[in-house]
Structure formats: structure tokens, C-alpha cells
Amino acid sequence: MVVMTRWLDEDEQRTWRAFLTATRGLMDTLDRELQRDAGMPHAYYEILVRLSEAPERRLRMSDLADATGSSRSRLSHAIARLEAAGWVRREECPTDRRGQLALLTDEGFATLAAAAPGHVEGVRRHLFDALTPAQVDQLRRISETLVDHLRET
């Protein structure tokens, strides 16, 4: 059986390219700003945020990898760097000898609290200030639809 390729039409191609350029540009800009202002990449910031929002500021490493969309090996490397900075500590999982927990330290929480205002301002300036309220609503709805669709695949 031969499968026919469903090529993108001109409008879909323009939309795809605009989406790629916008998302890469936004993430690159936010990453550069976090590096400059807080001395950390966006990926580390997201780890700290996820831990700060977790009960007792700790998560199983596997759950943290899932929450951040990271592979377990990439997350382990990032956690090692965050441990070296004193922002995160690993603990053995009390319910599973094979599992480990990542714990946000007080120093890590203070670092996150110091970085958050600048990062939020960057998100506002580079994303929300460029959109109308109706476009923000559309972006949220489109993003939620994509998230739901991608969870199903």
C-alpha cells in the first residue's frame, strides 16, 4: 500500500514557518535574558519553578522529567549542575529504593524568587504586550488544543 504524502499548502507552510520562527525566537530571547540576568538557562529555571510548586518543594526525578519534557538523562545532568550551585538536593525516595527525589533548597528558592520578576517581565514584554486580549485568548485555546492532541499520540 502506498501512502500519499499530505504536503502543506502555501498557507499552511507560511503558518508552520511563522510558528517555528516565533516559538524559537521567543524561547531564545527568554533564555538569553535568564542567562544574562540570573545566570541560568531557561531549562534550569523551569526545573526550579516545578520544584517550587510541588508539595514540600520536592518531586520524584521521573515525575520532574515528565513535567519538564526532559529525558531522564538530561534531567539528571541538569540536577547535578543545580546541586553544584546549591539550588537543589537529591534525596532517596522513601517508598522506592530505586527512585530519587529532587528537593529545592532554600538557596534555590531564593535564587528563583530573585529571577522571577525579570523573567515574568520578559514574558510579558516579548509575548503578551505584542498581542490583543482576543489574540491571547486564541493563543491559549490553540495551545491547549495542541497539548491535548499531543498527549493522545
- pLDDT > 90 fraction of the chain, expressed in percent and rounded: 90
The CA distance from 24 to 28, in Å, is 6
Identify any residues that bridge with 89 across adjacent strands, giving them in sequence order: 103
The CA distance from 123 to 42, in Å, is 12
Class of residue 146 by CB neighbours under 10 A (exposed 0-12, middle 13-18, buried 19+): exposed
pLDDT at 24 over 90: yes
- DSSP alpha helices (H): ranges in the chain? 10-38, 42-53, 61-68, 72-85, 106-126, 133-152
**Domain count along the chain:** 1
Number of residues in the chain = 153
Domain containing 41 equals 22-152
- Residue 91 sits in a domain whose CATH number is 1.10.10.10
pLDDT at 80 over 90: yes
Question: pLDDT: is 151 or 141 the higher one?
Answer: 141
Question: pLDDT: is 94 or 126 the higher one?
Answer: 126
Residue 17 within any structural domain of the chain: no
- Average pLDDT along the chain: 95
pLDDT at 93: 86
Tell me how far the alpha carbon of residue 57 is from its chain's centroid: 17
Residue 13 within any structural domain of the chain: no
- pLDDT > 70 fraction of the chain, expressed in percent and rounded: 100
Residue 92 within any structural domain of the chain: yes
